[in-house]
Structure 1
Amino acid sequence: MAKSTNKLNDIQLRNWVAQRKPVARSDGDGLTFTLSSSGTATWVLRYRLGTRHNGQAVRRELTIGNYPDISLRDARTLAAKHRAAIDAGDDPVIAKQIEKTRFRLDWTIRELVQDYQDKVLVEPHYAATTIEYRKADYEQVVLPHLGSRPASTVTAIDIVEMLVAANRTWTISKRILTSTSMVFDHACGQILIPANPCTGIRLSAIMGPRPQVRQRVMLQEDELRILLPDIDIIGIENALAFRILLATCVRGIELARAKKEHLFLDRRVWWIPDESVKTRKGFLVPIAPTVASWFQMLINLSGESIYLLPARQERRRRNQQGDTHVGATTLWAAFRRAFDRQDIPIRQFTPHDTRSTAKGHLRNMGVSREISEIALNHTLKGMEAIYDVREEIPERRQALAMWAEFLVACETGAPSPQASAPTISNIIQLKKTAGTRV
Structure 2
Amino acid sequence: MAFTDSKIKNLKPQSKRRIAWEDGGTCLGLRITPTGKKSFVYMYRYDSRPRMMTLGRYPVLTLADARVDLAKAKALLAKGQDPGTLFLQVKADHQGTPTVSHLAAEFIQKRSQNKKAWQEEQRILQKDVLPKWKHRKAQDIKRRDVIVLLDRIVERGSPIMANRTLGVLNRMFNFGIRRAILESNPCSIIERPGEESPRDRVLSSEEIKNFWINIDKCRMANGTKLALKFLLVCLQRKSEVAQAEWVDFDINSGWWNIPKKKTKNKLSHRVYLSPTAIELLKKIKELSGDSIYLFPSPRPDRNKPITPRSLSQALLKNLNTLKIEPFAPHDLRRSGSSHMTGNGIPRETVQKILNHVERGVTKVYDRYSYDQEKKNAMTKWGRILNRIITGETGKIIQMRQK
So what's the TM-score if we normalise by structure 1? 0.62
Match of 1:323 among 287, 290, 303: 303
2:108 aligned residue: 117
1:183 and 1:338, CA in 2 relative to 1: closer, same or farther beyond 3 A?
Answer: closer
1:105 aligned residue: 96
**d(CA) in 2 for partners of 1:103, 1:260:** 45
Shift in Å, 1:103? 7.8
**d(CA) in 1 for partners of 2:95, 2:308:** 42
| SS of residue matched to 1:122 | helix
1:347-366 correspondence runs (5 A): 347-366=325-344
1:186-205 correspondence runs (5 A): 186-203=175-192
1:307 aligned residue: 293
- Asked if 1:339 is matched to 2:319, the reply is yes
1:159 aligned residue: 146
- Please give the per-residue CA displacement for 1:314-339, whole angstroms capped at 9, x wherever unaligned: 3xx2xxxx522223244455544543
Shift in Å, 1:239? 4.6
1:159 and 1:222, CA in 2 relative to 1: closer, same or farther beyond 3 A?
Answer: closer
2:39 aligned residue: none
- Please give the per-residue CA displacement for 1:124-157, whole angstroms capped at 9, x wherever unaligned: 3x11xx2122112222222222222222322222
Larger Rg: 1
Shift in Å, 1:242? 3.2
| SS of residue matched to 2:112 | coil
Write the letter of the residue equivalent to 1:232. D
1:274 and 1:223, CA in 2 relative to 1: closer, same or farther beyond 3 A?
Answer: same
- Please give the per-residue CA displacement for 1:402-424, whole angstroms capped at 9, x wherever unaligned: 111111122234455579xxxxx
Is 189-198 or 384-393 further displaced after alignment? 384-393
Shift in Å, 1:369? 2.1
1:179 and 1:222, CA in 2 relative to 1: closer, same or farther beyond 3 A?
Answer: closer
1:396 aligned residue: 374
1:228 aligned residue: 212
- Asked if 1:137 is matched to 2:124, the reply is yes
1:354 and 1:196, CA in 2 relative to 1: closer, same or farther beyond 3 A?
Answer: same
Match of 1:292 among 272, 278, 281: 278
1:352 and 1:418, CA in 2 relative to 1: closer, same or farther beyond 3 A?
Answer: closer
Shift in Å, 1:227? 4.2
Is 331-340 or 300-309 further displaced after alignment? 331-340
| SS of residue matched to 2:271 | strand
Match of 2:345 among 337, 345, 367: 367
1:53 aligned residue: none
1:112 and 1:349, CA in 2 relative to 1: closer, same or farther beyond 3 A?
Answer: closer
The percentage of aligned residue pairs carrying the same residue is 23
Is 214-223 or 104-113 further displaced after alignment? 214-223
| SS of residue matched to 1:352 | helix
1:405 and 1:131, CA in 2 relative to 1: closer, same or farther beyond 3 A?
Answer: same
Say if 1:363 and 1:372, in contact at 8 Å, map to a contact too: yes
Give the total of aligned pairs.
302
Say if 1:269 and 1:285, in contact at 8 Å, map to a contact too: yes
1:217 aligned residue: 201
1:426 aligned residue: none
- Comparing both chains, which one has the higher relative contact order based on Cα–Cα distances under 8 Å and sequence gaps of 6 or more? 2
Shift in Å, 1:299? 0.9
1:383 and 1:224, CA in 2 relative to 1: closer, same or farther beyond 3 A?
Answer: same
Write the letter of the residue equivalent to 1:251. R
1:193 and 1:224, CA in 2 relative to 1: closer, same or farther beyond 3 A?
Answer: closer
1:149-188 correspondence runs (5 A): 149-166=136-153, 167=155, 169-188=158-177
Shift in Å, 1:266? 0.2
1:237 and 1:104, CA in 2 relative to 1: closer, same or farther beyond 3 A?
Answer: closer
Gaps of 5+ in 2: 1-91, 398-402
